[in-house]
Amino acid sequence: MILQDKVVLVTGGTSGIGRATALAKPTGGNRLCPTTSKGGGGGSSN
C-alpha cells in the first residue's frame, strides 16, 4: 500500500508497537498523529 501526502493516525501511540510506529520517520510527505486513550480526554460514552 502506498500512502503519500496523508495523515496517519496511530492509536496506542504511547507504548508498544504504536509507540514504535509513532517514533518512525514518516515518509512520502505523510504526517503522523499518535493518539492515546489514557489521561481522561474529553470524550463521551453516550
pLDDT tens-digit readout, 1-46: 676 788 888 888 888 888 888 787 777 788 878 888 776 554 444 4
In a domain, 44, yes or no: no
What is the predicted pLDDT for the residue at 15?
84
Write out the residue range of the structural domain in which residue 17 sits: 1-37
Q: Looking at the domain assignment, is residue 43 inside a domain?
A: no
Total tally of structural domains belonging to the chain: 1
Q: Could you tell me if residue 45 is inside a domain?
A: no
Mean pLDDT for the chain?
Answer: 74
Q: Is residue 42 part of a domain?
A: no
Q: Which residues lie below 8 Å from residue 29, measured CB to CB, with a gap of 6+?
A: 4, 5
Has residue 5 been placed in a domain? yes
Q: pTM higher than 0.85, yes or no?
A: no
CA distance 17 to 10: 10
Q: Residue 39: its pLDDT value, please?
A: 62
Cα separation, 22 vs 6, whole angstroms = 15
